[in-house]
Amino acid sequence: MPSGAVFPERDLVLFIASGVVIFSLLAAVITLPLVAPNAGPIVTRGSSIDEVQEDQEEEEELPQYLTDNEAYLIIVQTAISSLNEKRTPKNQRAAYELMLDYQNLERQISMEIRDDDQVEKALGQEARLRQVAIAGERAAIERLYKNKQISATTYQDALYRVEQETNNTNRLTERPKLSIVLDLRKAKRFFHRFFRLKRSAQEDVVLVKEARLADREAAKAAIKALSRYVSSEKVDNSKINRNTIYHLVIMYRNRIERLKGKSNFEFTEYQKQRSRLQIVALGAQRASVQSMLETGRITRKNAAKLRTYINYSENALTLDVEGD
């Protein structure tokens, strides 16, 4: 003041001015992101616009590569598809066997990729589908025995095989447990199988034909049971694992092909068909690796690993062919 007196309420004025400045800064920081959520990063005097844009481009272009197991699974699935395309009535036995081998490998890789909860869920679905197929097998065997198309011996043997399949299916979801309950039916089948009377050669031939008939009709019935189950309105198709159904169908079709018992079947021709189909599958796998590499789904290192595996399989195939 001109008189030398202190400005009245000077401390209060300074406090209010500082509060206004701080409030305006905080309000801007809080409200601006809400008003413009997609405006991007805040650029200050010390930051360069070019640097901010480069950082954004690097984050957007960061590739998402497949893991080794994921890439491996893709080339196995590609091999299965190529075999299915090349399958013909003449080579379908070799095709089904190779497809089944690849499907077993596919199942193993899928289990490694999934977590524990997903594995448990997948095993539960597989067990349910296997139970449906086994029920179809059992019904076919009962029908053959009722129509007197198979003897009591073949009937007991077929039921024993179905019982083993049921036990294997139950092990997918159940923990091992000790059972002390005596199943009279199992005991009867056991004594029937291992303490049967000696048969003549002619009876053996008849029983072999009956056994092939029972296994073949059971496999056909299992496929039909799976088809009816999938097409049923009571079943939620979104919860059905199509790969598992496909695997089971291929397994039963492979069994049917092996049981046809063609008199003109030649093992040498079968081996040639199998080798040709394996070459087709390996070629499809190579093409799949190249496609994943070109599209940026795998690194060059992963591509080299996959190609090494394919080359190893091809070398093993070549050695088998030369050995034959």
What gap in Å lies between CA 182 and CA 197, rounded to an integer?
Answer: 25
Q: Does the pLDDT at position 308 exceed 70?
A: yes
Q: Does the pLDDT at position 158 exceed 70?
A: yes
Helices marked H in the chain: 10-35, 49-60, 68-86, 92-113, 116-146, 152-170, 184-194, 201-231, 242-259, 267-294, 300-323
Cα angle 113, 116, 121; round to 5: 95
- Secondary structure E strands in 190-286: none
Neighbours of 142 (CB within 10 A): 13
Q: Of 265, 288, 270, 280, whose CA–CA distance to 313 is shortest?
A: 280
The verdict on pTM exceeding 0.85 is no
The model's pLDDT over 4-39, given as tens digits with 9 standing for 90+, comes to 666 677 777 778 888 888 888 888 777 777 776 555
What gap in Å lies between CA 320 and CA 274, rounded to an integer?
Answer: 11
Which is higher by pLDDT, 185 or 84?
84
What gap in Å lies between CA 102 and CA 100, rounded to an integer?
Answer: 5
What gap in Å lies between CA 173 and CA 159, rounded to an integer?
Answer: 22
Q: How confident is residue 322, by pLDDT bands cut at 50, 70 and 90?
A: low
The model's pLDDT over 161-203, given as tens digits with 9 standing for 90+, comes to 999 999 888 887 665 444 444 455 555 555 555 555 455 566 6
Which pLDDT value is given to residue 298? 92
The model's pLDDT over 119-144, given as tens digits with 9 standing for 90+, comes to 888 888 888 999 999 999 999 999 99
Q: Does the pLDDT at position 156 exceed 70?
A: yes
Q: How confident is residue 311, by pLDDT bands cut at 50, 70 and 90?
A: very high
Residue 302 near residue 320, CB atoms below 8 Å:
no
Average pLDDT, the chain: 80
In the block, tokens 């088998």 appear at 320
